[in-house]
Amino acid sequence: MKGIGASPGIEKGKVFVIKDWQPMLANNKTENTNAEISRLERALNKSTTELDNIFTKVKREIGDKEAAIFEAHIMIIEDPELIRQVKIKINEEKMSAEYALKTVRDIYLEMFKNMDNAYMRERAADIKDVTDRIIRNLTGMEKKDLLVIEEKAVIAAKDLSPSDTVQMDKEKIIGILTDDGGAASHVAIMARTLEIPAVVGLGNITEQLRTGDEILMDGDEGHVFIKPDKDIIKEYMKKRKMLRTLKTMYADLKGRESRTKDGYKVELSANIGTPEELPAVLRNDGEGIGLFRTEFLYMNRDRLPSEEEQFKVYKETAQKMEGKPVVIRTLDIGGDKALSYMPMPDEMNPFLGYRAIRLCLDRPDFFKSQLRALLRAGAYGNIKIMFPMISCIEELRKAKALLNEIKEDLNQRSQVFNPDMEVGMMIEVPAAAILSDVFAKEVDFFSIGTNDLIQYITAVDRGNKDIAHLYTQFHPALLRLIKQVIDNGHREGIWVGMCGEAAGDPRLIPILIGMGLDEFSMSPGTILKARWILSNLSKKEMEKKVENVLRYASAEEVCEALSFDTGVI
Ligand code: PEP
Ligand code: MG
């Protein structure tokens, strides 16, 4: 079966199927409504105490982000509107406390279920999780406890709530499979943090499996084999062994500089979306943050983040990176990234539409609050600002003018900030790449965003599966343009990095070294592998190779020519 690879790793073992817990409650009428209200209050208090304890345990043992989920659960219990509605059902319809709670929560769940928004669906899962807990406390019913797993197993469930995941006996759980969920669901985030392989979004795997069945799973690719045959097992065990050997080999490079064998030094940085990813950056020896996608701070909430909220996040990120560069990209919303609380116009071509810097310059009110937060946080570390989607010089000049306006204002108020913060731009629109000699005179650095640059150069939507074969990082037109951007940047004495996915592609790293790219920014888990690759390369040899490759006519030829350089793919 194929699902979504949510947490990497290959595992084989017996499966333990957890069936969805559904309380069976009858609508037995009550006359003593006061007694029911008291029972409800007691169950609410007991649930809050349990959640407080879980919160403290998770915060200590796992992390702040995971703990925050339980804080949110406590807030659901404390939501006066929910409890008010439950009490109305008890008082007016003479329902028992548990039946009233179930009735009200089912109305909420139905409402959330129909919303076309992943965040809201996650909130529905939270409401179910909390109300199940209260019902358990009201009825004394036990949920099949995940602690009863007696031997090591891969668990399979319709979905796993944060409470389930946290209470799991991590020693016994070697993998996670769920019917529901996406790569950004709670269970996926938890599994990655706990480094347990996981495949989510499998549809109906819990119906196809029985506890005790043998399975084989690949958390990278999202494959699950039920009762795998000998050949499959052999193939995957070989892959697992190879991946583990490679991981140990890469890990030996921790603490070393990122240099080619002939001494050319580059910076290997990480792309992050939230500060929760910082531990992974540090664990993998990232030499900086090459791209902080700040739009994630604006998502999964119901209003814009304030200047203070942003300031705190940027400051903490810079401090945790201890002086290493942290490139923070200003809001890149629009295209495929929407904010639930900010209505966007209906557009024929959202990727060519009202997005990123265009939207920010049109809405200086909230753009300014982000710039102020960035400038202020810059006093506490090595923050650099980066503007996305710049397509003409006026946009860059306007953004810089706003930044200067804010600096003056901060000066007048005697607020602490970094007046000399480096300002860079993404090169992800062909016009900016072609005109990079001009732009290079007005910024401190470039970061090439291949994810968008490829789609704009080739006119291939990056998310359309029907034309996915045309979307390629090996297109000779892209490589020629990248070379031009790097040369133009260097001619003006600025550094040039890359934060699109191509920067972490083992087949492209050698050629980018040959072109003289200064900084590579990628997902944290790829950094040590990239260091290993370049430590086995000679810059001089790669420079010669660039000349040849740039003459190729097709992406296929480029890809073939580049596949031999690294030995590890
Ligand atoms: C890019 O376009 O290459 C990039 C890094 O930005 P995003 O993927 O966030 O659009
Ligand atoms: Mg982009």
Ligand 1 residue neighbourhood (C-beta within 6 Å): 291, 293, 332, 428, 449-452, 499-500
**CA 268 to each of CA 163, 287, 325, 516, 532: distance values in angstroms, whole numbers, following the listed order:** 37, 6, 11, 14, 11
For residue 447, the ligand closest to its alpha carbon is 1
Alpha helices in 378-518 (DSSP H): 393-412, 430-434, 436-439, 450-458, 476-491, 509-515
Cα–Cα distance for residue pair 137/77, rounded to 1 Å? 13
Closest to 500 measured CA to CA, from 524, 518, 522, 519: 522
- In terms of DSSP bridges, do strands 214-218 and 519-522 run parallel, antiparallel, or are they unpaired? unpaired
For the ranges 48-57, 295-304, 369-378, 480-489, the lowest mean pLDDT is seen at 295-304
Assign domain 262-561 to its CATH superfamily: Phosphoenolpyruvate-binding domains (3.20.20.60)
Position with higher pLDDT, 381 vs 19 = 381
Nearest protein CA to atom 8 of ligand 1, as residue: 451
**CA–CA separation, 154 vs 5, rounded Å?**
15
Contact 20, 158 (CB under 8 A): yes
392 is catalytic: no
Question: Which protein residue has the closest C-alpha to ligand 1 atom 4?
Answer: 449
Task: Specify the fold of 33-139.
Answer: Enzyme I; Chain A, domain 2 (1.10.274)
What's the CATH code, domain 4-20+145-229?
Answer: 3.50.30.10
Q: How far is the CA of 389 from the centre of ligand 2 (A)?
A: 7
Average pLDDT over the chain, rounded to whole?
89
* Tens of pLDDT, residues 394-433: 999 999 999 999 999 999 999 999 999 999 999 999 999 9
The yes-or-no verdict on residue 569 having pLDDT over 50 is: no
The yes-or-no answer on residue 73 being catalytic is no
Mean pLDDT over 358-363 rounds to 95
Do the domains 33-139 and 4-20+145-229 match in fold? no
| pLDDT at residue 172 in the model | 85
**From the alpha carbon of 447, which atom of ligand 1 is closest?**
5
End-to-end CA distance of the chain: 24
Beta bridge partner(s), residue 446: 425, 496
Percent of the chain with pLDDT over 90: 57
pLDDT band at 148 (very low <50, low <70, confident <90, very high): low
- Of 110-119, 247-256, 359-368, 459-468, the one with minimum mean pLDDT is 110-119
Listed by start position, the domains of the chain span: 4-20+145-229, 33-139, 262-561
pLDDT of residue 568: 46
Q: What is the CA(63)–ligand 2 centre distance, in A?
A: 30
CA 293–ligand 1 middle distance (angstroms) = 9
What's the pLDDT tens digit per position in 519-557? 999 888 889 999 999 999 999 999 999 999 999 999 999
